[in-house]
Amino acid sequence: MAECGTYMGFREGCRCPACRKTWRAYHTAWAWDRRHGGPPRLVPADEVKAYIAMLHRHGWSDRAIADAAGLARCTVTAIRSRDQRKVTPDTRDRILGVTIDDQLDGRRLIPIDDLRALVAAMLAAGLTRKAIGGAMGYRNGWRFALDQRSHSGRRPGRHCLNHTYRRVHTLYRLLAREGLVDGSVLTKVRAP
């Protein structure tokens, strides 16, 4: 329940004098702004949608954009995937204020091809998926790296998180140092 004496308190059903006064003040200001050309309450979302699409092309996920902008992930997803035509100026400014360099390296999406190559080489050397997953700290094995579908099952998985790739690359490097897998594969994949 929202705090008493606030706009949200009135919206959630409180009708005390303080909530009613706040409600009236908000709507009076809104009507004045509308009549006299005050700052807009909502702005077109086209520029924000295009910017989110550009960040996606550079490997950003919705969660990474939301974390960098200080928003909820569902807000970014709703703007990107739904027919949302308007956003608040604050949301617009937060998303447009995110630069490509702001991204946390672990949340960056990278192509999954190199990860699949490393896991395939480990499997060819006789390791099981369960052994690979156990070495990485997963309890129930590690299946999604070679699956043709993503974990949601809707479309082929084309990307993985950078920190996942770093973990697999480190594991492969350690196994190659011990002579358990072919070390030449490391020259064919990208460095983390």
Q: Is 2 domain-assigned?
A: no
Question: 67 and 115 share a domain?
Answer: no
18 and 82 belong to one structural domain: no
Predicted local distance difference test score (pLDDT) of residue 50:
92
pLDDT of residue 133: 77
- pTM for the model stands at 0.50
Q: Let me know whether 30 and 72 are in one domain.
A: no
Q: What is the pLDDT along the chain (192 residues), one digit of tens a residue?
A: 678 888 788 888 888 999 899 989 988 888 887 788 776 778 889 999 999 998 888 778 888 888 888 888 899 999 988 778 899 888 888 898 888 766 555 556 677 788 888 888 888 899 887 788 777 766 665 554 444 444 444 445 666 777 778 888 888 888 888 888 888 888 888 777
- Whether residue 113 is found in the same domain as residue 182: yes
Residue 1 in domain? no
192 within domain boundaries: no
Do 80 and 131 share a domain, yes or no?
no
Q: Residue 62 is part of a domain; what is its CATH number?
A: 1.10.260
Q: What range does the domain containing 129 cover?
A: 109-187
Query: For position 33, what pLDDT does the model report?
Result: 79
Q: 13 and 50: one domain?
A: no
Q: Which residues of 107-116 are buried (b: 16+ CB within 10 A; e: fewer)?
A: bbbbebebbb
Contact 117, 172 (CB under 8 A): no
Q: Do 84 and 142 share a domain, yes or no? A: no
**pLDDT value of residue 105:** 53
User: Do the Cβ atoms of 166 and 114 come closer than 8 Å?
Assistant: no
Q: How far apart are CA 120 and CA 114, in angstroms?
A: 10
Same domain for 175 and 122, yes or no, is yes
